[in-house]
Chains A and B, each alone.
Chain A
Amino acid sequence: MPDKLEITNNIRTLRFFAHEMTQQELAEKAGVSRQTIIAVEAGKYSPSLELAFRIAEAFGVPITEVFSINKKES
């Protein structure tokens, strides 16, 4: 059985370096609700590939700088 993967993100850090961009501003740039951004940032929702790219585009960085995958220890 393949190892479980955990998707983590750097959205909070990236928001900080983007002149403390608010969650609402990021939500508007990515075209989703603020609640969705809150859930993604907290790791409660794994976004679709399209949304992941849109979030990365909002920060002007490659997707790998926003999201990363870690193997979950079972």
Chain B
Amino acid sequence: MSFKEKKTLMSLITSTLLLVAYCIYAFGEAGMQHQNDLAFWARTILIFIGIGIVALIIIQILFHVLMAISQAVQQKMKDETIDDKEIEKSIEREMVEDEMDKLIELKATKIGYVIMGAGFVAGLVAIAFGASAVALLNILFLSTWGGSFLEGLMQIRYYRRGIR
């Protein structure tokens, strides 16, 4: 598995853990007590968006550091005479972003937006059929998560199967 696949996988795992945490909190006791309190749901979603951004940044930094260490150790084990600059160069080479990465990102993002758009329509349909504004908020939040999750999955798929 390449560096970019691992990086995408890490993001997927992080966002899944966050969704699980959100579901436990929002659909647990706290959510049940504020079923029609729009302000509570707005605050909860805002807090989880904030936590998500911070968690993703921290995990990405940790991931980069761990990858750099593991690559340095692997190279030192292969060749003990290798100098630090050469190791640094090889790490940079792994992380370089080129046209294939951009194309994969573009195609995957497109799919993510489709899911988010579908979520928005589903939310409107739910409202039209008498669902509450809280349901709309949750549908929008979950479809945004679903969109970014599918985006990550598609990126891994494109890296594995290729893109034409």
Question: Which residues of chain A have a CB within 8 Å of any CB of chain B?
Answer: 24, 27-28, 31-36, 39, 42-48, 51
Contacts and interface: CB of A to CB of B under 8 A. Distances in A.
Given A48-B99, A51-B99, A35 B159 contact: yes
Given A28-B93, A32-B100, A36-B99, A45 B162 contact: yes
A33 to B, nearest CB: 5
B65 interface: no
Contacts of A31: 98
Contacts of B4: 35
A33 B162 contact: no
Interface in B78-116: 93-94, 96-101
Most buried by A among B4, B96, B101: B96
Contact of B96 (A33, A43, A46): A33
A36 B162 contact: no
Which 6 pairs show the lowest CB-CB distances between chains A and B?
A: A44-B162, A32-B98, A36-B100, A33-B96, A35-B2, A46-B164
Contacts of B164: 44-46
Contact of A32 (B2, B99, B161, B162): B99
B163 interface: yes
Nearest to B160: A44
B94 to A, nearest CB: 7
Contacts of A34: 93-94
Nearest to B95: A33
A48 B100 CA distance: 9
B159 to A, nearest CB: 7
Contacts of A24: 93
10 contacts: A32-B99, A33-B94, A33-B100, A35-B100, A36-B100, A39-B162, A42-B162, A45-B100, A45-B163, A51-B99
A28 B161 CA distance: 23
Contact of B100 (A28, A39, A42): A39
A58 to B, nearest CB: 14
Given A24-B93, A35-B4, A44 B98 contact: no
